[in-house]
Structure 1
Amino acid sequence: MTITLETLVRAASVIPVLTVSDVAKAAPLARALKAGGLSVVEMTMRTPAALDVLSAMKAAEPDMIIGMGTIRTPEQVADSMAAGADFLVSPGLSPQLVPALLASGIPVLPGVATAGEAMSAVEAGFEVLKFFPAEQAGGRPYLKSIAGPLPDIRFCPTGSITREMAPDYLALPNVVCVGGSWIATGAMIDAGDWDTITANAAAAAAMKT
Protein backbone atom coordinates (compact mmCIF):
# COMPACT_ATOMS: atom_id res chain seq x y z
CA MET A 1 0.00 0.00 0.00
CA THR A 2 1.44 3.35 -1.09
CA ILE A 3 0.00 6.39 0.64
CA THR A 4 0.53 10.12 0.30
CA LEU A 5 1.62 12.45 3.07
CA GLU A 6 -1.81 14.06 3.09
CA THR A 7 -3.49 10.66 3.45
CA LEU A 8 -1.26 9.95 6.44
CA VAL A 9 -2.01 13.30 8.06
CA ARG A 10 -5.76 12.97 7.57
CA ALA A 11 -5.79 9.44 9.03
CA ALA A 12 -3.70 10.25 12.10
CA SER A 13 -4.66 11.84 15.40
CA VAL A 14 -2.56 10.34 18.19
CA ILE A 15 -0.03 7.91 16.72
CA PRO A 16 1.04 5.07 19.04
CA VAL A 17 4.83 4.90 19.25
CA LEU A 18 5.61 1.22 19.75
CA THR A 19 8.67 -0.67 20.96
CA VAL A 20 8.14 -4.41 20.53
CA SER A 21 10.68 -7.19 21.06
CA ASP A 22 8.47 -10.26 20.55
CA VAL A 23 7.10 -11.00 17.08
CA ALA A 24 4.37 -13.15 18.64
CA LYS A 25 2.84 -9.94 20.07
CA ALA A 26 2.56 -8.25 16.66
CA ALA A 27 -0.76 -9.61 15.41
CA PRO A 28 -2.75 -9.24 18.66
CA LEU A 29 -1.26 -5.77 19.14
CA ALA A 30 -2.35 -4.70 15.66
CA ARG A 31 -5.83 -6.07 16.25
CA ALA A 32 -6.12 -4.31 19.63
CA LEU A 33 -5.12 -0.95 18.18
CA LYS A 34 -7.45 -1.37 15.22
CA ALA A 35 -10.32 -2.37 17.52
CA GLY A 36 -9.84 0.91 19.36
CA GLY A 37 -10.22 2.86 16.14
CA LEU A 38 -6.61 3.72 15.29
CA SER A 39 -5.39 3.24 11.75
CA VAL A 40 -1.89 4.80 11.96
CA VAL A 41 0.91 3.45 14.16
CA GLU A 42 4.68 3.87 14.40
CA MET A 43 6.96 0.94 15.13
CA THR A 44 10.41 1.97 16.38
CA MET A 45 13.72 0.54 15.23
CA ARG A 46 14.77 -0.09 18.82
CA THR A 47 14.73 -3.88 19.01
CA PRO A 48 16.21 -6.61 16.79
CA ALA A 49 12.66 -7.80 16.06
CA ALA A 50 11.34 -4.42 14.87
CA LEU A 51 11.33 -5.20 11.14
CA ASP A 52 9.71 -8.60 11.61
CA VAL A 53 7.13 -7.10 13.97
CA LEU A 54 6.21 -4.45 11.40
CA SER A 55 5.76 -7.10 8.70
CA ALA A 56 3.66 -9.26 11.02
CA MET A 57 1.44 -6.34 11.98
CA LYS A 58 0.90 -5.51 8.31
CA ALA A 59 -0.01 -9.13 7.63
CA ALA A 60 -2.50 -9.15 10.50
CA GLU A 61 -4.13 -5.80 9.63
CA PRO A 62 -3.32 -4.92 5.99
CA ASP A 63 -5.45 -1.76 6.05
CA MET A 64 -3.46 -0.18 8.88
CA ILE A 65 -0.89 2.47 8.03
CA ILE A 66 2.27 1.33 9.81
CA GLY A 67 5.49 3.32 9.79
CA MET A 68 8.99 2.67 11.04
CA GLY A 69 10.57 5.17 13.40
CA THR A 70 14.02 5.79 14.88
CA ILE A 71 15.43 5.76 11.33
CA ARG A 72 19.06 6.90 11.44
CA THR A 73 20.80 5.40 8.38
CA PRO A 74 20.14 4.85 4.67
CA GLU A 75 20.35 1.11 5.35
CA GLN A 76 17.48 1.37 7.82
CA VAL A 77 15.45 3.24 5.21
CA ALA A 78 15.92 0.37 2.75
CA ASP A 79 15.28 -2.33 5.34
CA SER A 80 12.11 -0.64 6.57
CA MET A 81 10.71 -0.28 3.08
CA ALA A 82 11.48 -3.94 2.37
CA ALA A 83 9.57 -4.86 5.54
CA GLY A 84 6.52 -3.00 4.26
CA ALA A 85 6.71 0.35 6.07
CA ASP A 86 4.10 2.83 4.86
CA PHE A 87 5.99 5.85 6.19
CA LEU A 88 9.27 6.69 7.93
CA VAL A 89 10.09 8.72 11.03
CA SER A 90 13.53 9.87 12.14
CA PRO A 91 14.67 11.41 15.44
CA GLY A 92 16.68 13.99 13.50
CA LEU A 93 18.35 14.70 10.17
CA SER A 94 21.91 14.23 8.93
CA PRO A 95 23.54 14.98 5.56
CA GLN A 96 23.73 11.25 4.81
CA LEU A 97 20.13 10.52 5.81
CA VAL A 98 18.36 13.33 3.92
CA PRO A 99 18.81 11.98 0.37
CA ALA A 100 17.84 8.46 1.40
CA LEU A 101 14.63 9.69 3.01
CA LEU A 102 13.74 11.90 0.05
CA ALA A 103 14.36 9.04 -2.37
CA SER A 104 12.18 6.60 -0.43
CA GLY A 105 9.01 7.57 -2.26
CA ILE A 106 6.89 7.24 0.89
CA PRO A 107 5.86 9.87 3.48
CA VAL A 108 8.60 10.93 5.89
CA LEU A 109 8.39 12.77 9.22
CA PRO A 110 11.95 13.88 10.00
CA GLY A 111 12.78 14.97 13.52
CA VAL A 112 13.58 18.57 14.42
CA ALA A 113 13.90 20.39 17.73
CA THR A 114 14.50 24.05 16.79
CA ALA A 115 13.18 26.67 14.40
CA GLY A 116 16.44 26.55 12.45
CA GLU A 117 16.24 22.78 12.05
CA ALA A 118 12.62 23.09 10.94
CA MET A 119 13.52 25.69 8.30
CA SER A 120 16.38 23.51 7.02
CA ALA A 121 14.12 20.44 6.83
CA VAL A 122 11.50 22.33 4.81
CA GLU A 123 14.20 23.70 2.49
CA ALA A 124 15.38 20.11 1.96
CA GLY A 125 11.91 19.12 0.78
CA PHE A 126 10.07 17.79 3.85
CA GLU A 127 6.56 19.08 4.58
CA VAL A 128 5.49 17.68 7.96
CA LEU A 129 8.07 17.43 10.73
CA LYS A 130 8.37 15.43 13.91
CA PHE A 131 9.00 17.84 16.79
CA PHE A 132 11.20 15.77 19.08
CA PRO A 133 11.70 15.43 21.99
CA ALA A 134 8.59 17.54 22.34
CA GLU A 135 8.35 18.21 26.05
CA GLN A 136 12.10 18.50 26.56
CA ALA A 137 12.47 20.84 23.54
CA GLY A 138 9.93 23.37 24.77
CA GLY A 139 6.62 21.63 24.35
CA ARG A 140 3.38 23.36 23.51
CA PRO A 141 4.61 26.90 24.39
CA TYR A 142 7.50 26.55 21.95
CA LEU A 143 5.32 25.30 19.10
CA LYS A 144 2.83 28.09 19.78
CA SER A 145 5.61 30.69 19.70
CA ILE A 146 6.97 29.62 16.30
CA ALA A 147 3.55 29.39 14.63
CA GLY A 148 3.72 33.12 13.93
CA PRO A 149 7.07 33.29 12.09
CA LEU A 150 6.73 29.81 10.58
CA PRO A 151 2.98 29.51 9.85
CA ASP A 152 3.37 27.12 6.94
CA ILE A 153 5.31 24.41 8.82
CA ARG A 154 3.30 21.52 10.25
CA PHE A 155 4.42 19.33 13.13
CA CYS A 156 3.80 15.96 14.77
CA PRO A 157 5.20 16.46 18.29
CA THR A 158 6.46 13.32 20.00
CA GLY A 159 8.30 12.75 23.26
CA SER A 160 6.93 12.49 26.82
CA ILE A 161 3.45 13.57 25.71
CA THR A 162 0.87 12.09 28.05
CA ARG A 163 -2.78 11.27 27.46
CA GLU A 164 -3.70 14.45 29.34
CA MET A 165 -1.37 16.65 27.28
CA ALA A 166 -2.34 15.37 23.85
CA PRO A 167 -5.55 17.43 23.36
CA ASP A 168 -3.70 20.68 24.13
CA TYR A 169 -1.08 19.85 21.51
CA LEU A 170 -3.72 18.92 18.95
CA ALA A 171 -5.45 22.26 19.52
CA LEU A 172 -2.44 24.13 18.10
CA PRO A 173 -2.89 25.28 14.50
CA ASN A 174 0.53 24.01 13.41
CA VAL A 175 0.06 20.51 14.89
CA VAL A 176 -1.48 17.83 12.65
CA CYS A 177 -1.00 14.83 14.95
CA VAL A 178 0.98 13.75 18.01
CA GLY A 179 2.93 10.65 18.94
CA GLY A 180 2.29 8.88 22.21
CA SER A 181 3.80 5.82 23.83
CA TRP A 182 1.11 5.78 26.54
CA ILE A 183 -1.36 4.00 24.27
CA ALA A 184 0.61 0.75 24.26
CA THR A 185 3.55 0.77 26.64
CA GLY A 186 6.19 -1.93 26.65
CA ALA A 187 4.77 -3.31 29.89
CA MET A 188 1.27 -3.53 28.41
CA ILE A 189 2.55 -5.28 25.30
CA ASP A 190 4.71 -7.73 27.25
CA ALA A 191 1.76 -8.57 29.49
CA GLY A 192 -0.61 -9.00 26.56
CA ASP A 193 -2.97 -6.43 28.08
CA TRP A 194 -4.93 -6.00 24.85
CA ASP A 195 -8.08 -4.71 26.57
CA THR A 196 -6.23 -1.75 28.08
CA ILE A 197 -4.49 -1.04 24.78
CA THR A 198 -7.83 -1.08 22.95
CA ALA A 199 -9.33 1.29 25.53
CA ASN A 200 -6.34 3.63 25.23
CA ALA A 201 -6.57 3.48 21.45
CA ALA A 202 -10.24 4.42 21.60
CA ALA A 203 -9.41 7.43 23.80
CA ALA A 204 -6.68 8.47 21.36
CA ALA A 205 -8.92 8.02 18.32
CA ALA A 206 -11.45 10.37 19.88
CA MET A 207 -8.87 13.17 19.96
CA LYS A 208 -8.99 15.06 16.68
CA THR A 209 -7.18 18.14 15.42
Structure 2
Amino acid sequence: MNTMNQAISEIGVVPVIKLNNPERDAAPLAKALCAGGVPVAEVTFRAAGAPLAIKVMKETCPDMIVGAGTVTTAAQIDEAIEAGAQFIVTPGMDEDLVKYAQEKKIAIYPGCTTPSDYHTALKYGLEVLKFFPAEQSGGLAKIKAMSAPFPQFKVMPTGGVSLKNLKEYLSSPIIAACGGSYMVSATLIDNQKWDEITDLCKQSREIVKEARA
Protein backbone atom coordinates (compact mmCIF):
# COMPACT_ATOMS: atom_id res chain seq x y z
CA MET A 1 0.00 0.00 0.00
CA ASN A 2 1.07 3.58 -0.53
CA THR A 3 2.13 5.79 2.39
CA MET A 4 -1.29 7.33 3.07
CA ASN A 5 -3.13 4.01 2.88
CA GLN A 6 -0.56 2.41 5.16
CA ALA A 7 -0.79 5.20 7.74
CA ILE A 8 -4.58 5.00 7.91
CA SER A 9 -4.46 1.21 8.06
CA GLU A 10 -2.06 1.29 11.00
CA ILE A 11 -4.43 3.51 13.00
CA GLY A 12 -7.30 1.18 12.10
CA VAL A 13 -10.23 3.52 12.75
CA VAL A 14 -11.25 6.75 11.03
CA PRO A 15 -13.63 9.09 12.88
CA VAL A 16 -16.27 10.45 10.48
CA ILE A 17 -17.01 13.95 11.68
CA LYS A 18 -19.75 16.49 11.02
CA LEU A 19 -18.92 19.80 12.68
CA ASN A 20 -21.64 22.42 12.90
CA ASN A 21 -19.48 24.83 14.92
CA PRO A 22 -15.90 24.43 13.69
CA GLU A 23 -14.76 27.72 15.21
CA ARG A 24 -15.51 26.34 18.67
CA ASP A 25 -15.08 22.60 18.27
CA ALA A 26 -12.43 21.77 15.63
CA ALA A 27 -9.35 22.47 17.76
CA PRO A 28 -10.41 20.67 20.96
CA LEU A 29 -11.76 17.77 18.91
CA ALA A 30 -8.44 17.35 17.11
CA LYS A 31 -6.66 17.29 20.47
CA ALA A 32 -9.15 14.78 21.88
CA LEU A 33 -8.70 12.39 18.96
CA CYS A 34 -4.92 12.56 19.10
CA ALA A 35 -4.95 12.08 22.88
CA GLY A 36 -6.94 8.89 22.28
CA GLY A 37 -4.40 7.53 19.81
CA VAL A 38 -6.54 8.21 16.74
CA PRO A 39 -4.74 11.01 14.87
CA VAL A 40 -6.97 10.87 11.80
CA ALA A 41 -10.28 12.43 10.80
CA GLU A 42 -12.70 12.41 7.89
CA VAL A 43 -14.48 15.77 8.01
CA THR A 44 -17.69 15.52 6.03
CA PHE A 45 -18.91 18.17 3.65
CA ARG A 46 -22.44 17.59 4.98
CA ALA A 47 -21.72 20.62 7.17
CA ALA A 48 -21.01 23.99 5.56
CA GLY A 49 -17.94 24.66 7.70
CA ALA A 50 -15.99 21.58 6.57
CA PRO A 51 -13.07 23.47 4.96
CA LEU A 52 -12.61 25.59 8.07
CA ALA A 53 -12.77 22.52 10.29
CA ILE A 54 -10.09 20.80 8.20
CA LYS A 55 -7.86 23.89 8.32
CA VAL A 56 -8.19 24.33 12.09
CA MET A 57 -7.61 20.64 12.85
CA LYS A 58 -4.43 20.59 10.75
CA GLU A 59 -3.17 23.80 12.35
CA THR A 60 -3.94 22.47 15.84
CA CYS A 61 -2.36 19.04 15.30
CA PRO A 62 0.00 19.29 12.29
CA ASP A 63 0.92 15.59 12.39
CA MET A 64 -2.72 14.52 12.23
CA ILE A 65 -4.10 13.00 9.01
CA VAL A 66 -7.17 15.02 8.03
CA GLY A 67 -9.35 14.34 5.01
CA ALA A 68 -12.65 15.40 3.51
CA GLY A 69 -15.71 13.15 3.35
CA THR A 70 -19.07 13.19 1.57
CA VAL A 71 -17.34 14.94 -1.32
CA THR A 72 -19.62 15.11 -4.38
CA THR A 73 -18.08 17.79 -6.63
CA ALA A 74 -14.71 18.78 -8.05
CA ALA A 75 -15.14 22.20 -6.42
CA GLN A 76 -15.29 20.51 -3.02
CA ILE A 77 -12.06 18.66 -3.81
CA ASP A 78 -10.45 22.03 -4.52
CA GLU A 79 -11.83 23.48 -1.28
CA ALA A 80 -10.59 20.48 0.68
CA ILE A 81 -7.09 20.65 -0.78
CA GLU A 82 -6.87 24.39 -0.14
CA ALA A 83 -7.86 23.77 3.49
CA GLY A 84 -5.11 21.18 3.89
CA ALA A 85 -6.95 17.90 3.37
CA GLN A 86 -4.79 14.86 2.68
CA PHE A 87 -7.45 12.50 1.36
CA ILE A 88 -10.90 12.57 -0.22
CA VAL A 89 -13.82 10.23 0.47
CA THR A 90 -16.86 10.09 -1.83
CA PRO A 91 -20.18 8.39 -1.02
CA GLY A 92 -20.21 6.55 -4.35
CA MET A 93 -18.02 5.64 -7.31
CA ASP A 94 -17.80 8.78 -9.45
CA GLU A 95 -15.19 8.32 -12.16
CA ASP A 96 -14.89 12.04 -12.81
CA LEU A 97 -14.06 12.72 -9.17
CA VAL A 98 -11.57 9.84 -9.04
CA LYS A 99 -9.79 11.18 -12.12
CA TYR A 100 -9.83 14.72 -10.77
CA ALA A 101 -8.41 13.69 -7.41
CA GLN A 102 -5.68 11.68 -9.10
CA GLU A 103 -4.82 14.68 -11.28
CA LYS A 104 -4.54 16.72 -8.10
CA LYS A 105 -2.39 13.96 -6.56
CA ILE A 106 -4.58 13.48 -3.49
CA ALA A 107 -5.68 10.07 -2.20
CA ILE A 108 -9.32 9.22 -2.87
CA TYR A 109 -11.52 6.51 -1.38
CA PRO A 110 -14.75 6.15 -3.36
CA GLY A 111 -17.80 4.43 -1.93
CA CYS A 112 -18.07 1.00 -3.57
CA THR A 113 -20.55 -1.80 -2.81
CA THR A 114 -21.13 -3.59 -6.14
CA PRO A 115 -19.02 -5.63 -8.56
CA SER A 116 -19.42 -2.80 -11.08
CA ASP A 117 -18.02 -0.31 -8.55
CA TYR A 118 -15.06 -2.56 -7.85
CA HIS A 119 -14.43 -3.13 -11.54
CA THR A 120 -14.39 0.61 -12.13
CA ALA A 121 -12.00 1.13 -9.22
CA LEU A 122 -9.68 -1.43 -10.80
CA LYS A 123 -9.27 0.81 -13.86
CA TYR A 124 -7.87 3.60 -11.73
CA GLY A 125 -5.35 1.54 -9.79
CA LEU A 126 -7.00 2.17 -6.43
CA GLU A 127 -5.83 0.11 -3.45
CA VAL A 128 -8.37 0.97 -0.75
CA LEU A 129 -12.12 1.39 -1.24
CA LYS A 130 -14.75 2.80 1.07
CA PHE A 131 -17.60 0.30 1.55
CA PHE A 132 -20.67 2.42 2.29
CA PRO A 133 -23.15 2.00 3.86
CA ALA A 134 -21.45 -1.08 5.26
CA GLU A 135 -23.98 -2.80 7.51
CA GLN A 136 -26.93 -1.89 5.28
CA SER A 137 -25.11 -3.25 2.22
CA GLY A 138 -24.37 -6.69 3.61
CA GLY A 139 -21.57 -6.06 6.07
CA LEU A 140 -18.50 -8.22 6.39
CA ALA A 141 -20.15 -11.20 4.65
CA LYS A 142 -20.60 -9.20 1.47
CA ILE A 143 -17.15 -7.64 1.74
CA LYS A 144 -15.63 -11.14 1.90
CA ALA A 145 -17.74 -12.30 -1.04
CA MET A 146 -16.66 -9.28 -3.11
CA SER A 147 -13.03 -9.95 -2.27
CA ALA A 148 -13.07 -13.30 -4.07
CA PRO A 149 -13.01 -11.80 -7.60
CA PHE A 150 -11.23 -8.63 -6.44
CA PRO A 151 -8.49 -9.73 -3.99
CA GLN A 152 -6.33 -6.70 -4.81
CA PHE A 153 -8.49 -4.32 -2.78
CA LYS A 154 -8.43 -3.47 0.90
CA VAL A 155 -11.70 -2.09 2.23
CA MET A 156 -12.71 0.68 4.63
CA PRO A 157 -16.28 -0.09 5.80
CA THR A 158 -18.30 2.87 7.03
CA GLY A 159 -21.92 2.93 8.17
CA GLY A 160 -23.18 0.96 11.13
CA VAL A 161 -19.71 0.33 12.56
CA SER A 162 -19.52 0.55 16.36
CA LEU A 163 -17.53 -0.76 19.31
CA LYS A 164 -19.76 -3.86 19.19
CA ASN A 165 -18.73 -5.01 15.71
CA LEU A 166 -15.38 -3.25 15.24
CA LYS A 167 -13.32 -6.29 16.22
CA GLU A 168 -15.27 -8.55 13.85
CA TYR A 169 -14.50 -6.25 10.92
CA LEU A 170 -10.87 -5.64 11.79
CA SER A 171 -10.15 -9.33 12.30
CA SER A 172 -10.52 -9.78 8.54
CA PRO A 173 -7.33 -9.20 6.52
CA ILE A 174 -9.47 -7.52 3.84
CA ILE A 175 -10.19 -4.57 6.13
CA ALA A 176 -7.75 -1.66 6.01
CA ALA A 177 -9.58 0.42 8.62
CA CYS A 178 -13.13 1.15 9.76
CA GLY A 179 -14.84 4.49 9.48
CA GLY A 180 -17.27 5.43 12.22
CA SER A 181 -19.05 8.29 13.94
CA TYR A 182 -19.72 6.52 17.25
CA MET A 183 -16.73 8.21 18.91
CA VAL A 184 -17.60 11.63 17.48
CA SER A 185 -21.40 11.70 17.67
CA ALA A 186 -23.27 14.99 17.48
CA THR A 187 -24.24 14.62 21.14
CA LEU A 188 -20.63 14.25 22.26
CA ILE A 189 -19.40 17.14 20.13
CA ASP A 190 -22.26 19.55 20.83
CA ASN A 191 -21.85 18.95 24.56
CA GLN A 192 -18.06 19.22 24.28
CA LYS A 193 -17.46 15.82 25.84
CA TRP A 194 -13.82 15.77 24.82
CA ASP A 195 -12.73 13.33 27.55
CA GLU A 196 -15.42 10.85 26.48
CA ILE A 197 -14.28 11.13 22.86
CA THR A 198 -10.71 10.45 23.93
CA ASP A 199 -11.86 7.44 25.96
CA LEU A 200 -13.84 6.00 23.02
CA CYS A 201 -10.78 6.44 20.82
CA LYS A 202 -8.63 4.58 23.35
CA GLN A 203 -11.17 1.75 23.48
CA SER A 204 -11.18 1.61 19.68
CA ARG A 205 -7.41 1.42 19.51
CA GLU A 206 -7.38 -1.43 22.02
CA ILE A 207 -9.84 -3.31 19.79
CA VAL A 208 -7.60 -2.64 16.78
CA LYS A 209 -4.65 -4.17 18.62
CA GLU A 210 -6.67 -7.18 19.78
CA ALA A 211 -8.10 -7.82 16.32
CA ARG A 212 -4.69 -7.72 14.70
CA ALA A 213 -2.71 -9.55 17.37
Residues 147/94 of structure 1: CA separation in 2 closer, same or farther (3 Å cut): closer
Count of matched residue pairs: 207
1:168 maps to which residue?
A: 168
- Alignment of 1:97 with 2:100, yes or no, is no
Instruction: Tell me the percent identity.
Output: 36
Equivalent AA in structure 1 for residue 142 of structure 2? Y
Equivalent AA in structure 1 for residue 111 of structure 2? G
1:107 maps to which residue?
A: 107
**TM-score with structure 1 length normalisation?**
0.94
Conserved? CA contact 1:110–1:126, under 8 Å: no
Gap regions ≥5 residues in structure 1: none
Q: What CA distance in whole angstroms lies between the structure 1 residues aligned with 2:71 and 2:92?
A: 9
Write 1 or 2 for the structure with the bigger share of helix: 2
Root-mean-square deviation over aligned CA pairs: 1.4
**TM-score with structure 2 length normalisation?**
0.92
Equivalent AA in structure 2 for residue 19 of structure 1? K
Cα deviations by residue, 1:18-45 (Å, 9 ceiling, x for unpaired) = 0001021011111111111111111101
Q: Which moved more, 1:18-27 or 1:99-108?
A: 99-108
Cα displacement (A) at 1:127: 1.5
Conserved? CA contact 1:14–1:207, under 8 Å: no
Q: What CA distance in whole angstroms lies between the structure 1 residues aligned with 2:115 and 2:165?
A: 22
Residues 6/162 of structure 1: CA separation in 2 closer, same or farther (3 Å cut): closer
1:28 maps to which residue?
A: 28
Q: What CA distance in whole angstroms lies between the structure 2 residues aligned with 1:173 and 1:199?
A: 26
Gap regions ≥5 residues in structure 2: none
Residues 174/5 of structure 1: CA separation in 2 closer, same or farther (3 Å cut): same
Cα deviations by residue, 1:141-189 (Å, 9 ceiling, x for unpaired) = 1012222222111110001111111111111121110001001101100
Cα displacement (A) at 1:54: 1.0
Cα deviations by residue, 1:97-154 (Å, 9 ceiling, x for unpaired) = 2221221212211111112211211212322100011011110110122222221111
Cα displacement (A) at 1:71: 0.8
Q: Give the 5 Å matches for 1:28-177.
A: 28-177=28-177
